[in-house]
Amino acid sequence: MSFDLLNSIRQAEKSAIEKAATEAGYEVVFNVADKDPQKQAAQIQDLIQTRKVSALVVIAQDGQQIASSVSLAKARDVPFIAIDRAVADQQNITFQITGDPVADGKLAAAEFIDAGKTKPLKVLELVGALTDQNAIGRRDGFNEALKGDPNVTAVSQVPTNWDPAQALDGTSNALQKNPDINAIFVPSDFLLPSVQSALQAAGRLAPIEDPKHVFLVTIDGDQNGCKAMKDKILDADVATPVDDFGKQAISAITTALGGRSVSPKSVQTKGLSLDQANFAATSSQVWGCVVA
């Protein structure tokens, strides 16, 4: 395995892959690139040429720059399985499974549209790293779904580069410049603590029943999101199907090592909408709630 970083969702993805690999009788070697595409390329080269791995499961730090690693794997006949983040070189990968970021953005927007029917919303939209198809897709799906809705208006968009410090500063600045913001779209639970800190500093972190409450929706379904749901700070979360990533990745490796083509070659799985109304019934299906 070669991961871009190791946060809570990556820990869950790692566990899901290790569980499926163990059940299949495989041994796992794990590397993390610490958000450095050059380091990731060097690690993958070592895995292929020195460690002689039979297959690769990769979350790319950069979907474009990973192309050299995909080519190397292809040349050495090592199945290359991309998970979570789409890669640019779709021709030479063996299999890819990701979430459906556009669909997830639309699911998040649906929560805003529903809430806007009772109270007009002025939304601060956070955006992840623009090198990441997940970030771009979530942004585009969210904006597309909101287009033309008279009750929900995006008044500010803050780039975060998936950096909690940038998310904190950007949210704080936006709240100061636009004090009428009463809703925030957070494209990953990874950034939720930063948003909560900014709201708290502005005196606006309040539970759902409080008139000062800022309507919040996130994506991922991690421990931060589940705790905020339980605390009634977060209105909704679109949970990533982490377990499915692990099962399908290992299944694809077994197929490829058996000399067969993996079909379909690319799969997208949309998230599960978790909100206050269905939380009690649905949270057991969400990876972050199970470990929270």
pLDDT in tens, 71-127: 999 999 999 999 998 999 999 999 999 999 999 999 999 999 999 999 999 999 999
**Cβ pair 189, 196 in contact under 8 A:** no
User: In 10 A of CB 52, how many CB atoms?
Assistant: 9
- d(C-alpha 36, C-alpha 39), whole Å: 5
With a cut of 60, say whether residue 292 has pLDDT above it.
no
Q: Is the pLDDT of residue 176 over 80?
A: yes
| 132 vs 4, higher pLDDT | 4
Q: How confident is the model at residue 291 (pLDDT cuts 50, 70, 90)?
A: low
The beta strand positions in the chain, using DSSP E, are 2-3, 31-32, 56-58, 80-84, 95-99, 121-127, 152-159, 183-186, 215-220, 236-239, 266-269, 272-275
The pLDDT of residue 253: 98
pLDDT at 68 over 90: yes
For the stretch 183-197, pLDDT in tens is: 999 999 999 999 999
Q: Tell me what the pLDDT averaged over the chain comes to.
A: 95
What does the pLDDT read at residue 263? Answer: 96
Tell me what the mean pLDDT of segment 134-149 comes to.
96
Preceding peptide of 150 cis, ω within 30°: no
Q: Which of 1, 64, 63 is nearest to 33 (CA)?
A: 1
Nearest to 187, CA basis, from 93, 67, 275, 102: 102
